Structure 1
Amino acid sequence: MIRWGILGAAKFARVHMGPAIHAAEGARLVALATRDAEKSNGFRAFCPDLHVHGSYDALLADPGIDAVYIPLPNHLHLEWSLKAIAAGKHVLTEKPMVMQAAEFDQLIAARDASGLQVAEAYMIVHHPQWQKVRDLIDAGEIGRIDHVDTAFSYDNRADPGNIRNRPETGGGGIRDIGVYTYGSVRFAARAEPVALEARLRLENGVDTWAQVTGEMAGPQGRFTYSAITSMRLFPRQEVVFQGERGLIRVTAPFNAGLFGEAQVTLHRNPNHMELFRFPALNHYVLQVEAFGRAIRDGGGYPCPLEFSKGTQQMIDQIFAVGRAI
C-alpha cells in the first residue's frame, strides 16, 4: 500500500485528486499539509482519518508517507518537487511542472539519482480513450494524418483573483490548458512541432486566448495543426484527427466524465462510423494506479518526465513566436 500526502489544500486536490488517491487500488491518502486547518474539513469528508500537518516541510519529514501529490500554484512546482525528492518521497506534481523546459533537467537528474518515481500529473494519457486514439492512428485506420484541430476553453473572467489569472503565479490559458491541446497530439500521433505561429490576447500579463497554427511531424510525415485555448470563451473541448482515408473525433478529450461521456468516433467513409464509448472510468484514479504500479514494479510510466519536457518545449516555442493582438 502506497501512503500518500498532499501539499496544499487546493480545491482541485479536494474535489478530484484527493478522492482519486483514496479510491485508487494500492493507494491510501494519509496526510495533508495546510497552514489553515479548516481547509482540511473537505478532505475529511472522504478521508476521516487524515493527518494534517501545519507546514509542507513537516509533511515531507513524515516517515509514514511514501509519495506526495503537489497541486500548488505553478511557480512553486519545481521548488517543492525537488524538496520532496530530497526528502525521499515519490512525486506526482500538477502540470505545468516547470515554467521553462530546461528546468526539467533538474528533475530528471534528481529522479535518476534518487531512484524515485517522479512525474507530471498528466492524467489524459492514462484514459483508454486516448490509448484507443493512438492505437487507431498507429494501425493506419485513417491513413496518413493531414490535419489536426484542437480546442479547449472555459470562462473564468468573473474570478480575477484565480491563480490562472495572475502572472506572478504562472497563470495563463496556455500553461493551464494548452498542455492538453498540444500534448494530446504529441501523445496520440507521436508527433512534434516543426513550425508554429501563435496569436495571443493578454490581460494583466497572462494569455486569456491563444490561437496556434503550424505544422507537426510524426511517423506518417508532416501535417497541419490548429489549436485554440481560452479562459474567456464558452466551455468547449474537442480534438479531431483528419486523415487521407478517415477521421477521428474525441468529444470529451480532457475532462472525460465531467465535460461529457468519453467517446471516440472513427469515420472511414461517409457511410461508415464506429463509436467507442468509455462511460465510467476516472482518469485521475487510473493515473494514481499507474503511478503506483511504476513504484512497485519498477516498470515504465506512460508519462515520464521526458514526455512532459517535450510538451513544455512546445509551450516555450509558442511563447517565443506568439504575437499579441
Structure 2
Amino acid sequence: MAHIRWGILGAAKFAAQHMGPALHAAEGGSLAALATRDPGKADPFRAIAPDLAVHSDYDALLNDPAIDAVYIPLPNSMHVDWTLKALQAGKHVLTEKPVAMKADEIDSLIAARDAAGKLAAEAYMIVFHPQWQHTRDLVFSGQIGQLRHVEGMFCFNNADEPGNIRNQADLGGGAMRDIGVYVIGSTRFVAGCEPQQVSARIRWESGFDVFTDISARFPGFTYSACVSTRLNPYQTMTFHGDAGSVQLTAPFNGPVFGDAAVILRRAGQPDSVARFNGARQYDLQVAAFNRSALTGAAYPCPLEFSRGTQAMMDAAFADAVALD
C-alpha cells in the first residue's frame, strides 16, 4: 500500500517529542529523513525511525527523491520561504503554525500549492481532536441555544528562557503568533464565521508581545480572549449561549495540561461531561494529511482556513493599544 515518506527540516525539540513520533506512527506514512547541521541532534529521531536518512542541509533533503512530504518546524520567520521551496521541489508540506507572519503571505502559499499540485497546510492539530469536533457539534446543533459570547485563555511562562525563539522578535516570536492561533482559530472553527471587528491590548517586551488581550465582535456573538508567555500555565475555552454553555478544560494540549473534558452546562439539568484523554491529536492530524496527499481528498484544515486566523491576528496587531 502506498504511503507518504516524510522528511523534517531541522531537529526541533517539538519535532522530536511530538511530531516526529506522529509522522512515523500515523496511518499512511512514516518518518524517513531529517535535515540538520548537527549530526548529534539526529539521535532522538533515529530512536523513532532507526533507518532514518540524515542530510546535512535543508536543500539536500528537498532534493531527495525518496521523500514525498516535508514537515517544517523552523522559526516562524522562516516558514513562508521554506514552504515555497518545498513546494517548488515537488513535496507535500506541513508547516508549523503560524504558517506565515501576515495573511497576504498565505496567498502566495495558496498559489504555489495550486501550481505544484501538492498539498500544503499549517500544522493546526486541534481541529482533528474529537473534543473540538464534539464542541462544534454541540454548538451547531443548538445544545446551548444561540451562541452569544466566547471567552478563552492560553498562558505559560518562559521568561527564564531568553534564547527561546518565542522570545526573539526577529524570529517571529511572541505570544500571539505562538498560541494566539489557538484561541482565535478554535473559535472560527466552532462558530464557522469571521469577525466583524477586532481590537487588542498588548504588553510588549523587546519587540514581541508577552501578553495580548483580544476583543472581537462576530455575527451574533462577542469574543474575549488573552494569551501570555509571562503567566502561570493555564488554558480554557468557553462558548456561552442563551440556553447553556460549553467549556473545554484542556483545549489545546490535553491531557498533558490536564483532563481533556468538554462540559455542557444547562440550567436545571446536571452537567454533561465528555472526556477525550485517549485522543492523539498529532497522529490524527498526520493521518488526515496522509489520506489527502495519497487520495486527493479535501484536507479538513486548508490554507484558506489558516488565512482567516492570520487575518484576525493581523487585525488585532493593527488596532492594538500598548499596555505599560
What is the TM-score of this pair, normalised by structure 2?
0.98
- Distance in structure 1 (CA, Å) of the matches to 2:285 and 2:199: 32
What one-letter code is carried by the residue in structure 2 that aligns with 1:70?
I
In structure 2, the partner of 1:61 is 63
In structure 1, the partner of 2:290 is 292
- Secondary structure of 2:305's counterpart equals helix
- Secondary structure of 1:234's counterpart equals strand
Q: Percent identity?
A: 57
Task: Please state if 1:49 is matched with 2:47.
Answer: no
**Aligned residues, how many?**
321
What one-letter code is carried by the residue in structure 2 that aligns with 1:287?
Q
What one-letter code is carried by the residue in structure 1 that aligns with 2:269?
N
Note the 1:1-325 alignment, pairs <5 A. 1-217=3-219, 222-325=220-323
Contact preservation (8 Å) 1:257, 1:282: no
Deviations 1:139-163 (A, max 9, x none): 0110111111110000000001110
- Distance in structure 1 (CA, Å) of the matches to 2:64 and 2:8: 12
Contact preservation (8 Å) 2:199, 2:315: no
Contact preservation (8 Å) 1:201, 1:210: yes
Contact preservation (8 Å) 2:155, 2:229: yes
Deviation for aligned residue 1:133: 0.7
- Distance in structure 2 (CA, Å) of the matches to 1:21 and 1:257: 20
Deviations 1:61-106 (A, max 9, x none): 0000000000000000000000000000000000111111001111
What one-letter code is carried by the residue in structure 2 that aligns with 1:272?
P
- Distance in structure 2 (CA, Å) of the matches to 1:119 and 1:41: 27
Deviation for aligned residue 1:257: 2.1
What one-letter code is carried by the residue in structure 1 that aligns with 2:256?
L
- Distance in structure 1 (CA, Å) of the matches to 2:108 and 2:221: 33
Deviation for aligned residue 1:272: 2.4
Deviations 1:7-56 (A, max 9, x none): 00000001100011111111100000000111101111222111100000
Deviations 1:150-181 (A, max 9, x none): 10000000001110010100000000000000
- Distance in structure 2 (CA, Å) of the matches to 1:52 and 1:279: 34
CA RMSD of aligned residues (A): 0.8
Which aligned segments of 4 or more residues in structure 1 are displaced greater than 6 angstroms? Answer: none
- Distance in structure 2 (CA, Å) of the matches to 1:264 and 1:297: 33
Contact preservation (8 Å) 1:22, 1:28: yes
What one-letter code is carried by the residue in structure 2 that aligns with 1:132?
H
- Secondary structure of 1:272's counterpart equals coil
- Distance in structure 2 (CA, Å) of the matches to 1:231 and 1:303: 26
- Distance in structure 2 (CA, Å) of the matches to 1:49 and 1:270: 59
Contact preservation (8 Å) 2:198, 2:312: no
- Secondary structure of 1:241's counterpart equals strand
Contact preservation (8 Å) 1:256, 1:282: no
- Distance in structure 1 (CA, Å) of the matches to 2:215 and 2:311: 16
Question: Structure 2 regions of 5+ residues with no counterpart?
Answer: none
